[in-house]
């Protein structure tokens, strides 16, 4: 189990973004006590944070947030890709002289996205996961979950800021969090003993449905939800 979180803000300074991302990661420390990291994009006000439980690759080669060899993509990943050895072999047969940083499934997933794109990579990946991917070229954020929804992922707006995280407590670590309880979600909970997707218990905060990709374009303020 690992934990991911992130924030985009059109108004906050980089120092504030770094502090918020750090607090979000600290709030889910229990999900990944082995390692942690913060990343900020140099051109866009977006920050990722990660808490790591080291299993497949316990070396620094599996440190996250992780940047692709091309520099285009940055990822935070929670979960496991069961067929990552097969995907690694396919990559090595398609790209010559790949210089791997380590043996993590995260790196395989990231380089697969660079070669085949996010949707196709997820279609051929077998595993359980929640991830966030930043495309520095197109300036787009992608959030995705596995087919069965084993790994949680919440997202939404806090004021003018867009946030996401593995748990609601990561979003509540945002200093401006004041989202009201969603009365419809409370009704659902009393009726079904849980809050069905895509709602959460808070207004303007949602659960990403399983087997979906959410694409957020901060330049146009558009959000597109699709299956893969």
pLDDT recorded at residue 1? 80
* Summary mean pLDDT of the chain: 95
Confidence of residue 60 (pLDDT cuts 50, 70, 90): confident
- Are 185 and 200 a contacting pair, CB within 8 Å? yes
Answer yes or no: 2 catalytic.
Answer: yes
Question: For residue 57, is pLDDT > 70?
Answer: no
DSSP 56: S
The residue annotated as part of the active site, out of 2, 47, 110, 113, is 2
Domains and CATH numbers, the chain: 3-227 (3.60.20.10)
pLDDT (average), residues 43-58 = 87
Comparing 55-64, 71-80, 189-198, the range with the smallest average pLDDT is: 55-64
pLDDT recorded at residue 96? 80
pLDDT recorded at residue 55? 73
pLDDT (average), residues 128-143 = 97
The dihedrals phi and psi of 154, each to the nearest 5 degrees, come to -110, 150
pLDDT (average), residues 83-104 = 93
Q: Which of 31, 19, 1, 15 is nearest to 169 (CA)?
A: 31
Confidence of residue 53 (pLDDT cuts 50, 70, 90): confident
The separation between the first and the last C-alpha atoms of the chain, rounded to the nearest angstrom, is: 23
- Are 146 and 128 a contacting pair, CB within 8 Å? yes
Question: For residue 79, is pLDDT > 90?
Answer: yes
pLDDT one-digit tens code per residue, 167-201: 999 999 999 999 999 999 999 999 999 998 899 99
């Amino acid at each position: 189990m690992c934990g991911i979180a992130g924030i985009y803000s059109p108004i906050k300074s980089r120092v504030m973004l770094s502090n918020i991302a750090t607090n979000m990661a600290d709030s889910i420390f229990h999900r990944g006590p082995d390692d942690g990291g913060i990343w900020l994009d140099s051109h866009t006000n977006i920050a990722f944070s990660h808490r790591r439980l080291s299993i497949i690759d316990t070396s620094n080669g599996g440190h996250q947030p992780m940047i692709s060899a091309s520099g285009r993509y940055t990822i935070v990943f929670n979960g496991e890709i069961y067929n990552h050895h097969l995907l690694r072999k396919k990559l090595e047969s398609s790209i010559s002289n790949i210089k791997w940083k380590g043996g993590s499934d995260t790196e395989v997933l990231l380089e697969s996205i660079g070669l085949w794109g996010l949707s196709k990579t997820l279609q051929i990946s077998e595993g359980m996961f929640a991830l966030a991917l930043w495309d520095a070229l197109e300036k787009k954020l992608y959030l995705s979950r596995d087919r069965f929804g084993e790994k949680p992922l919440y997202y939404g707006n806090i004021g003018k800021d867009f946030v996401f995280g593995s748990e609601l407590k990561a979003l509540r670590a945002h200093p401006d969090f004041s989202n009201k309880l969603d009365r419809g979600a409370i009704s659902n909970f009393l009726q079904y003993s849980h809050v069905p997707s895509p709602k959460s218990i808070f207004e303007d905060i949602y659960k990403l449905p399983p087997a979906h990709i959410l694409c957020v374009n901060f330049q146009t303020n558009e959000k597109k939800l699709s299956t893969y």
